[in-house]
Amino acid sequence: MTNNKAPVCGIEFINEEKVAIVKENFPDENEIFELAETFKMLGDPTRLKIVLALLISELCVCDLSALIGVSVSAISHQLRYLKNMRLVKFRREGKVVYYSLDDNHIVTIISETQKHVREN
């Protein structure tokens, strides 16, 4: 089954069997999409800083703005994103809204990735 012509695109499959084996062991499309979504969520410096901060302590929007150095509005937009992704939760105390992490796995994901960047 090696070196057959693909009828549609005209590309020769160098190794159809290998491709088939990989396909069998592949996560389903939906899981891949969710994996990518999770990585994308952490792939923006502002959002990552928010998560890193909340990893240490519960904080209000104003604190996060001062700490990270971007506008309250920008922080709020990103917090909504993270809230929709169910990574953070919040509680209201008078006028102040406190955000905290609503996830157990993120610590491990981040520390594993820290190992990665430190050893490269």
Question: Binding residues for DNA, per CB under 7 A?
Answer: 11-12, 14, 40, 43-47, 60-62, 65, 70-81, 90, 92, 94-98
Rounded to the nearest whole angstrom, what is the least distance from the CB of residue 40 to DNA in the complex?
A: 7
- Asked if 82 and 90 touch (Cβ cutoff 8 Å), the reply is no
Contact partners, residue 36, CB within 8 Å, separation at least 6? none
- Cβ atoms within 10 Å, residue 47: 20
4 contacts: CB under 8 Å, gap ≥ 6: 12, 13, 16
Terminal Cα-to-Cα distance of the chain (whole angstroms): 40
Residues 15/2, Cβ–Cβ less than 8 Å: yes
In the complex with a copy of itself, the residue whose CB is nearer, 49 or 89, is: 49
Give me the least distance between CB of 69 and a copy of itself, in Å please. Answer: 10
Q: Footprint of a copy of itself on this chain (CB under 8 A)?
A: 6, 11-15, 18-19, 21-23, 25-27, 31-45, 48-49, 52-53, 56-57, 59-60, 62-63, 65-67, 72, 86, 96, 103, 105-106, 108-110, 112-120
Binding partner of 103, given a copy of itself, DNA, none, CB within 5-8 angstroms per partner class: a copy of itself
Q: Cβ 5 to DNA, closest distance in Å?
A: 9
